[in-house]
Amino acid sequence: MNLLSIVLAFCFGMMTGGDSEKYPIPTKTKEQLFYIQRNHNRNTIIYDANFDKNGNLIKNNPINVYWIRYEEQSQKMELRTIEKIWAYGVKCSKIENAQNQYHVKLVADEDRKLTLKQNNPFNASIYTIIAQKYSQLNHIYIFADNSGFWPKVKYIELFGKDVASGKNNYEKIIINK
């Protein structure tokens, strides 16, 4: 989590504050895996499954990451290179002997284990452990303190659905640095 705190805080430090009470919920599409929102503004990072024309995950690039810039005109915007490398990019590797499944790591938090699974053509989900339960990830919220020279991530919240029970679940991870 230390690297996550430093990298995300650095990227958040370049942004201005926003209304943390009124976050838009991105329109759910068949491609959407999950999204990230932060306390500094309402702009949202979207993680979509990247399918070929037959509805299969694209092996060398199974996830497409981009912004929805709600603070501007709600337009879609590709990530900047620095954001891909240090903050919001993903690294995906095919799971051997598993049909259409990938290990996924957020570049800012390579310790969190995520799994991308294709369920059907044009249908995929991302899974992780939330509150000690195997869960389908829905979204992440990051709160960073921007009062100092370098912003500091204070906590991260994970929202998802417990695969076994089908119930929504939640975990708050406090960053103590």
* 34: nearest Cα among 25, 23, 22: 25
Parse the chain into domains and list their residue ranges: 2-18+31-174
Judged on CB neighbours under 10 Å (0-12, 13-18, 19+), 88 is: buried
pLDDT of residue 149: 75
User: pLDDT of 75-117, one tens digit each?
Assistant: 899 999 998 988 899 999 999 998 899 999 998 888 899 999 9
Phi/psi for 94 (5° steps) reads -65, 135
| DSSP 8-state code for residue 88 | S
Phi/psi for 19 (5° steps) reads -90, 100
What is the residue-level pLDDT of the chain in tens, covering all 177 positions?
A: 444 444 444 444 333 333 345 789 999 999 999 999 999 889 999 999 999 999 999 999 999 999 999 888 888 999 999 989 888 999 999 999 988 999 999 988 888 999 999 999 999 999 999 999 999 999 999 998 888 777 788 999 999 999 999 999 999 999 876
Report the C-alpha gap between 131 and 161 in whole angstroms. Answer: 10
Q: b/e map of 72-83 (b: 16 or more CB within 10 Å)?
A: eeeeeeebeeeb
141 beta partners: 37, 157
pTM: 0.85
pLDDT of residue 177: 65
Question: Which residues lie below 8 Å from residue 43, measured CB to CB, with a gap of 6+?
Answer: 15, 67, 68, 69, 70, 71, 72
